[in-house]
Amino acid sequence: MEPALQRYRVMALVVGVMLLVLVLVAVPLRYGFDVPQVSKVVSPLHGFLYIVYLVAAFDLAMRARWTAKGTVLVLLAGVVPFLSFWAERRVTAQVRAGLPL
């Protein structure tokens, strides 16, 4: 279970950082300063990394036997700024304690 948890943790942090870069840097540059180059790189990169996050989170969900509701909530955590950081901490605590999510 620990390797699946580590994969999930890494991807949650990476996706969270990329989402913050997208929302706080790339989008303002694109729409506020007419500099679309950063968004053209960060947007697809975040999209690809989010898919990897989904795979890692789903793998952990299956191994830890999460409920459908818990699984869906964790999967959606990668699309709300800052939420993936909070979800990662909560998931890590729950999995290490052997509690269901």
pLDDT tens, residue by residue, 36-53: 999 999 999 999 999 999
Which pLDDT score, from 0 to 100, does residue 61 have?
97
User: Mean pLDDT throughout 17-40?
Assistant: 97
What CA–CA distances, in Å, run from 8 to 17, 32, 39, 100? 14, 34, 25, 16
pLDDT beyond 90 at 101: no
